[in-house]
Amino acid sequence: MSEQQAYEPKVVAFLCKWCSSAGSDLAGVSRIQYPANATPITIPCTGAMSPMYILSAFNKGADGVLVSGCHIGDCHYIEGNYLARRKMHLTMELLKFIGVEPDRFRMSWVSAAEGAKFAQVVTDFINDLEPLGPQDKLKKVVSS
């Protein structure tokens, strides 16, 4: 078995409580299967996504970072996802600018009714991450 086949990307997924986390719950209720590589962290709103979380996740060795929230216009807190859209755009552009593969950061709008979409987003993300191999550009090297 080649090293490439054994590689499992590690993803941290930031999900907003009211839409995407609920959508993820719906995927569970519907028993839709998807890869187990993405560990969810539920936050109140994508508006609460500090760019530091993304940089920190990569710094700690994440191969990919997913941020998912309510569709534009549907934010439970009205404007949080509009603020997130801007900050995440800047973060994504900066990552691309320094030469991080664009596919490593992903953002999606998944509503509480979109269980299937959530599963698809994660599946697509893991599939896109596999050929890129482990992320070692921003990862902190820890002496053993």
Partner 1 sequence: MINIQDIRDTARDMLAKGEVRAVIGYRRGTRGMLAEPAFITSPEQADDLVWDPTCFHNLSLYLVEDRKFLAHLNKSSDAPIAVIAKGCDARSIVVLLQEHYFKREDVYIIGVSCEGTGVVDERKLASHLNGFQASNAVFDGDDFVFTTAQGEKRLPAREVMADRCLECRNPFPKENNVVFGEDKTGRELEAPFAALARFEAQGTGERWDFWSHHFDRCIRCFACRSVCPMCYCDECVVDSITFPVTPATTAEEKANRIRWIDRSATRSENITYLMTRAMHLAGRCTDCGECERACPVNVPIRLLNNKMEREAREKFGFEPGASIGGPSLVASFLDSDPGDFIR
Partner 2 sequence: MTKKRTGVFVCHCGTNIAATVDVAKVAREMADENTVAFTQEYVYMCSEPGQESVVQAIKDNKLDSVVVTCCSPNLHEKTFRDNAQRAGINNFTCEIANIREQCSWVHNDKAKGTEKAIKISRSVVRRVNRNKPLEAIAVNVTRKAMVIGGGIAGIQAALDIANAGVEVVLVEKQATIGGRMLQLSETFPTLDCSQCVLSPKMVEVKRHPKVKLMTYSEVQELSGSVGNFQVKVLKKPTFVDPDKCKICDHCTEVCPVVVPNEYELNLTARRAIYIPYAQAIPASFTLDESACLGLNPVVCGKCKDVCEAGAINYDMRPETVIEDVGAVVVATGFDLYDQENMPELGGGKLEDVLDGLQFERLCSASGATKGHILRPSDHREPKDVVFIQCVGSRDPAKHCAYCSKICCMYTAKHARLYKKHVPDGRAYVFYIDIRSGGKGYEEFVQRTMEDDDTLYLRGRVSKLYRHNGKVRVLGTDTLTGQNVEIDADMVVLAQAMVPSKGTTEIAKVLKIGRDKDGFLAEAHPKLRPVESVTAGIYLAGAAQAPKDIPETVAQAGAAASKVIALLSQATLSRSPLIAKVRPSHCTGCGMCVDACPFIAIRLENGKAVVNEALCEGCGSCSATCLRAAIDVKNVTQLQIHEMIEACLA
Binding site for partner 1 (CB under 8 A): 51-52, 55-56, 59, 72, 79, 82-83, 85-102, 106-109, 121, 124, 137-141
- Which of partner 2, partner 1, none sits in contact with 44, Cβ below 5 to 8 A by type? partner 2
The span from the CA of 123 to the CA of 144, in Å, is 33
The span from the CA of 108 to the CA of 68, in Å, is 5
- Which of partner 2, partner 1, none sits in contact with 9, Cβ below 5 to 8 A by type? none
Task: Note whether 112 and 31 are within 8 A (CB).
Answer: no
CB atoms within 10 A of CB 137: 11
Closer CB to partner 1, 43 or 106, in the complex: 106
The span from the CA of 34 to the CA of 122, in Å, is 7
- Residues of this chain that bind partner 2 (CB under 8 A): 8, 10, 12, 21-22, 24-29, 31-36, 39-45, 47-50, 52-53, 56-57, 60-62, 73-80, 83-84, 87, 119
